[in-house]
Amino acid sequence: MRFNSYEFLLFFAAVLALASWCRGRTRHVLLLFASYAFYASWNAPFLVLLLFSTVLDFHSGRGVARATSPWRRRAWLAATLVGNLGPLAYFKYGNFFFENVAFVSGIDPAPFYLDLVIPLGISFYTFQSMSYTLDCWRGETQVCERFLDFALYVTFFPHLIAGPILRASEFLPQLRRREAVREDEMLRGIELFLLGLFKKVVIADNLALLVDRVFGHPGGYDGAAVLVSTWAFWAQIYCDFSGYSTMAQGLASMLGFTLPRNFDYPQLRHNPILYRRSWHITMGNWFTDYVYRPLGGSRVGDARFAFNIFVTWLLLGLWHGAAWNFVLWGAYNGVILAVYSVVMRRKRWSLPAFPGKLFLGWLINVGLLLLSSVFFRARSAADAGLMLKKILLWEPGRSVEAAWWGVMALLLAVHALSFWHYREDLLQRLRWPGRVLLVTATVVAVACFGAAGRPFIYFQF
């Protein structure tokens, strides 16, 4: 069930109605079984992996916290690392490993090829479940004594498939709540869900019409077409992924829970660091806490500082997919962030203030990020190289409709206006006639202009 499907709306309506009649542990049991049913609707056998990760980290967290000797603590930590990363590596990276070994050695990879389907959301729930044990290891969270609570933390269906990635310290305390959902929470939830749905089906899925056309056959298009389609993809993936995260926040709010914000207007940021801190925030925080800081973080010399940033982003690129274009995307971003961070760390001067300084920074940042989007979306590293060549050399070829440039400029203007004026409490500030009008207008826009049937981009990760 996708959030943008009629089946899910019926499912959620039933869960919301039942949850409004339940309190305490009964409500938690209901939400847990609803979450398992939601996941099973995609592929029921993969529930075994979800349960395995849940049981493993529930006991590993307790084992780490209660171990009486260092070697026992290390044994529990090793169990959670192997038990979580092993299945992830097998399902997501097994064929990538065999293909590259075969390429280097000249061996035919066909006999070793794994006929696998990647379990939906495995990259997200694995990292979330594992973070609990890692936090117990570092003494940064309390041990969860109830398996029911921990299982709901891992499997809570609004964020299960594509985040936001929660920490136990963010979610588990919310399970102590006993009061009913308030009106302001319900209104905020409806507003966020409709906003996310609009971003997904009206904006992202319609932009995909241009993106799929050009990225599917990049050799036939000119540099301008490749550039505007790359810009369209940048907007598409933002609206698609932030749309999912916003819908997840809305669904959770209607059920009385708070999820962290995952995006904070990244496309309007004027330097690479601010951009990365505001894009997929929870994943960035995960890699910062469990990869970058254990490597030494910023408490080292410049060369090691740059190395730590680069390695973190290389792994983050690999997390996105088992393909060399994702590795190149991570390496590209790692180089940009490493160079910028070292320069800002050691700078002895800065540009004097002048009108348009921030705009110039934003323009440069946008140019760098658009180039990185080519690596992310291209079907292969070869296609990425071809598209970059077309953009940089402005090569001839077929063009696309000029109206797409106007569409992109309009979307950017609306996004900027939203950044300056919009707050996520609009329904609460309106009276009932205004609320009905706004909700009706959004539903009509989705019904009339929404492109149905497209899965969320990050479901493949």
The pLDDT of residue 159 is 93
Q: Report the half-sphere exposure of 203 (CA within 13 A, side-chain side).
A: 28
The pLDDT of residue 19 is 93
Looking at the DSSP bridge assignments, the partners of residue 221 are 398
Q: Which is nearest to 34 in space by CA: 19, 49, 55, 53?
A: 19
Q: What tokens were used for 238?
A: 């933002």
Looking at the DSSP bridge assignments, the partners of residue 446 are none
Render pLDDT for 401-428 as a digit per residue (tens, 0 to 9): 999 999 999 999 999 999 888 888 888 8
d(CA 53, CA 223): 46
| DSSP secondary structure string for all residues of 417-445 | HHHHH--TTHHHHS-HHHHHHHHHHHHHH
Render pLDDT for 59-75 as a digit per residue (tens, 0 to 9): 999 999 888 889 999 99
Looking at the DSSP bridge assignments, the partners of residue 398 are 221
Q: What tokens were used for 57?
A: 């980290």
The pLDDT of residue 252 is 96
Q: What tokens were used for 299?
A: 């408490």
Q: What tokens were used for 137?
A: 């290891």
- The CA distances from residue 216 to 6, 66, 294, 382, in Å, are 30, 54, 40, 13
Residue 403 burial (10 A CB sphere; 0-12, 13-18, 19+):
exposed
Q: What tokens were used for 21?
A: 């009649």
Render pLDDT for 106-148 as a digit per residue (tens, 0 to 9): 777 666 677 778 888 898 999 999 999 999 999 888 899 999 9
Print burial letters for 292-322: b (CB count within 10 Å at least 16), e (below 16): beeeebeeeeeeebbbbbbbbbbebbbbbbb
- Nearest-10 Cα torsion for 383, 367, 293, 156: -70
Q: Where are the domains of the chain?
A: 6-180, 185-460
Task: Please answer whether residues 94 and 114 qualify as being in contact, where contact means their C-beta atoms are separated by less than 8 angstroms.
Answer: yes
Phi and psi at residue 398, to the nearest 5°: -70, 145
Q: What tokens were used for 152?
A: 């709901």
pTM, to two decimals: 0.91
pLDDT in 10s for each residue of the chain, 461 residues: 788 888 999 999 999 999 999 888 899 999 999 999 999 998 899 999 999 999 999 999 999 988 888 999 999 999 999 999 999 988 888 878 877 777 677 777 666 677 778 888 898 999 999 999 999 999 888 899 999 999 999 999 999 988 799 999 999 999 998 888 999 999 999 999 999 999 999 999 999 999 999 999 998 999 999 999 999 999 999 999 999 999 999 999 999 999 999 999 999 999 999 999 999 999 999 999 999 999 999 999 999 999 999 999 999 999 988 888 889 999 999 999 999 999 888 876 677 777 788 888 899 999 988 888 998 888 888 898 999 999 999 999 899 999 999 999 999 999 999 988 888 888 888 888 999 999 999 999 998 888 876 778 777 66
The pLDDT of residue 120 is 86
Find the distance separating the first CA and the last CA of the chain, reported in whole Å: 17
Q: What tokens were used for 397?
A: 């070829």
Active site residues: 320
Task: Please answer whether residues 144 and 132 qualify as being in contact, where contact means their C-beta atoms are separated by less than 8 angstroms.
Answer: yes
Q: Which is nearest to 130 in space by CA: 82, 162, 91, 202?
A: 82
Phi and psi at residue 221, to the nearest 5°: -110, 155
